[in-house]
């Protein structure tokens, strides 16, 4: 079955659903409304939406079909008039089953299960055992210690047991990079992605960074930085949006404050979300997922600053090369190690290699996280467009970005994102942490 493109909006009393299903016969269209769930069927299309509140099919409901545009418009009544349904613009959240929604909204409880990770693919309802596992994972406490390192011992033991290394979002993929060296993939720096452990990949990453760092290049950008200073002093779109959000909060505009300035999704972004794979993730290491998000957003923010908000033919490579997550399949164990890796790669790979520029990019990451998961999702969807348009780098959408986009809508914690933004706001990286004697070079 095909999931059709759709959009949802609301007012005080109704929910309005627009479904794009061209070339169907009006007589074949079937609807079903069951408490918080709406189902639509018209071969070959099937759509099931789970709302955060209850809806009803009553005298105030209606449906119409525009044969010219192929759009079916459905109006459902809210069982509780005046109730506001949250996150109607997060389409993957609406596509989640009731069990998945309950899991995502659970608060606290047992620790998440360890790998191997169970994943539900497609629109099939969860089994009873699967639901229990999802609920246990989702109830884990979101109050992370972002600086607490974790042991790699369990990963090494699993390597001996399984024999094949995992990588990608939630360490769930293997085999995708088996022939990476036979392609023109200039992002990848891992010598043997399928067999190198996380610690081996990390050592390889730092060795590549050490070899790539060019002291003369760094000093040229340090001494002759007129053009770079224009980029440093510019205000990013994320900082502007955060300023608007804060002004809205000060003025008491609750709707604008909650949603975040300029966080609405375009038609292209809505289509991207509708086309995302249907997955229910059981996260084995939530801290690593959030830290990987910092790394991805830093690479994206730095690229935007360098190109003044525009993308170029080199943008996909630059984002991939600056991101240790993508280029080296890195999984971070603390916020500081993630930030240090961001600065090292930001000073070794892109067109401009400047310390202040890296600091501004990290501040942009703070602004994105402070704006909330809609702003993060918009940034990741923009990254996805960059990689999807490339005939080689599209693999990174499959390994990381698609899953991140789904997880942000269905499993990410607003509380954890706020906590991460708070930690980023107070984080300072010293030049001595980078390992290249930057102060010594600058004093020459």
pLDDT of residue 259: 43
Q: What would the mean pLDDT of 80-108 be, rounded to a whole number?
A: 77
Polymer length in residues for the chain: 444
pLDDT of residue 118: 43
Q: What is the mean pLDDT of residues 414-435?
A: 95
Per-residue pLDDT reduced to its tens digit, 253-270: 655 544 444 458 898 999
Please give the pLDDT value at position 249.
83
**Tokens at 74, concatenated:** 């459905």
**Given a cut of 90, is residue 106 above it in pLDDT?**
no
Residue-wise DSSP of 39-83: EEEETTEEEEEE-SS-EE-STT-EEEEETTTTEEEEEEEESSTTP
pLDDT value at residue 147: 58
Average of per-residue pLDDT across 24-34: 86
| Residue 287 confidence (pLDDT) above 80 | yes
Pairing of strands 71-78, 55-56: antiparallel
| Averaged pLDDT for residues 144-170 | 59
The pLDDT value recorded for residue 14 is 94
pLDDT of residue 263: 59
Work out the average pLDDT over 208-227: 96
State mean pLDDT over 123-133.
42
Dihedral angle over CA of 267, 268, 270, 274, nearest 10:
130
Report DSSP state, residue 127: P
**More confident: 43 or 124:** 43
Structure tokens, 371: 């704006």
The C-alpha atoms of residue 157 and residue 179 are separated, in whole angstroms, by 25
Share of the chain above pLDDT 70, in %: 83
Cβ(434)–Cβ(344) under 8 Å? yes
The pLDDT value recorded for residue 439 is: 93
**What pLDDT is attached to residue 280?**
80
Ramachandran category for residue 211: left, alpha or beta (phi over 0 → left; psi -120 to 50 → alpha): alpha
Which band of pLDDT confidence, cut at 50, 70 and 90, is reported for residue 103? low
pLDDT given for residue 142 in this prediction: 47
pLDDT value of position 193: 95
Model pLDDT, residue 405: 96
CA distances from 276 to 93, 95, 316, 399 (A): 11, 11, 20, 13
Q: What pLDDT is attached to residue 153?
A: 42
CB 217 within 8 A of CB 232: no
pLDDT value at residue 107: 42
Phi, psi of 107 (to 5 degrees): -100, -65
- pLDDT at 101 exceeding the cut of 70: no
Distances 257 to 18, 139, 178 between C-alpha atoms, Å: 27, 27, 46
CA 331 to chain centre: 15
Q: What is the pLDDT of residue 321?
A: 98
Tokens 């070899």 belong to residue: 211
The least confident of 93-102, 114-123, 188-197, 386-395 is: 114-123
Check pLDDT > 70 for residue 128: no
Residue 29, SS3 per DSSP: coil
pLDDT band for position 25 (cuts 50, 70, 90)? confident
The confidence score (pLDDT) of residue 45 equals 85
What is the reported pLDDT for 432? 95
* Global pTM value: 0.76
Q: Which residue has the higher pLDDT, 356 or 140?
A: 356
pLDDT at 108 over 50: no
Residue 403, both tokens: 């899953």
Identify the top-confidence range among 66-75, 97-106, 424-433. Answer: 424-433
Tokens (6 digits) for 232:
């440093």
Residue 131 pLDDT > 60: no
Residue whose tokens read 């990451």: 365
Q: What is the pLDDT of residues 313-346, one digit of tens each?
A: 999 999 999 999 999 999 999 999 999 999 999 9
CA angle 345, 218, 364 (to 5 degrees): 50
Confidence band of 97 (pLDDT split at 50, 70, 90): confident
Highest mean pLDDT among 51-60, 67-76, 429-438: 429-438
Average pLDDT, the chain: 85
């Amino acid at each position: 079955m095909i999931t059709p493109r759709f959009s949802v909006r609301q007012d005080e009393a109704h929910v309005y659903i627009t479904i794009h299903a061209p070339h169907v016969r009006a007589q074949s269209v079937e609807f079903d409304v069951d408490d918080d769930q709406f189902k639509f069927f018209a071969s070959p299309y099937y759509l099931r939406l789970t709302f955060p509140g209850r809806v009803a099919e009553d005298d105030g409901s209606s449906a119409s079909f525009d044969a010219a545009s192929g759009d079916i418009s459905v109006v459902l009544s809210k069982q509780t008039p005046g109730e506001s349904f949250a996150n109607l613009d997060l389409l993957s959240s609406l596509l989640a089953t009731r069990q998945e929604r309950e899991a995502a909204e659970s608060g606290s409880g047992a620790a998440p299960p360890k790998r191997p990770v169970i994943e539900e693919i497609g629109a099939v309802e969860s089994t009873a055992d699967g639901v229990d596992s999802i609920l246990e994972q989702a109830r884990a406490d979101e109050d992370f210690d972002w600086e607490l390192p974790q042991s790699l011992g369990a990963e090494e033991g699993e390597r001996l047991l399984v024999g094949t290394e995992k990588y990608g979002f939630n360490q769930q993929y293997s085999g995708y990079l088996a022939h990476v060296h036979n392609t023109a993939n200039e992002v990848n720096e891992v010598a043997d992605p399928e067999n190198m452990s996380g610690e081996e990949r990390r050592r390889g990453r730092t060795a590549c960074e050490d070899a790539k760092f060019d002291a003369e290049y760094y000093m040229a950008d340090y001494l002759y930085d007129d053009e770079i200073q224009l980029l440093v002093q510019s205000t990013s779109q994320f900082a502007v949006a955060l300023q608007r959000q804060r002004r809205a909060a000060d003025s008491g505009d609750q709707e604008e404050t909650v949603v975040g300035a300029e966080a609405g999704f375009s038609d292209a972004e809505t289509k991207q979300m509708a086309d995302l794979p249907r997955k229910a993730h059981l996260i084995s290491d939530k801290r690593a997922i959030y830290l990987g998000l910092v790394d991805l957003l830093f690479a994206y923010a730095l690229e935007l600053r360098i190109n003044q908000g525009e993308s170029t033919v080199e943008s996909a490579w630059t984002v991939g090369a600056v991101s240790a997550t993508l280029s080296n399949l890195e999984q971070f164990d603390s916020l500081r190690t993630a930030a240090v890796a961001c600065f090292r790669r930001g000073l070794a790979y892109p067109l401009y290699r400047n310390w202040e520029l890296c600091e501004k990019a990290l501040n942009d990451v703070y602004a994105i996280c402070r704006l909330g998961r809609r702003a993060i999702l918009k940034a990741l969807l923009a990254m996805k467009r960059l990689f999807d348009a490339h005939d080689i780098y599209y693999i990174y959408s499959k390994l990381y970005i698609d899953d991140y986009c789904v997880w942000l809508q269905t499993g990410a914690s607003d509380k954890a994102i706020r906590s991460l933004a708070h930690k980023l706001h107070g984080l300072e990286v010293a030049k001595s942490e980078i390992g290249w004697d930057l102060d010594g070079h600058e004093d020459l």
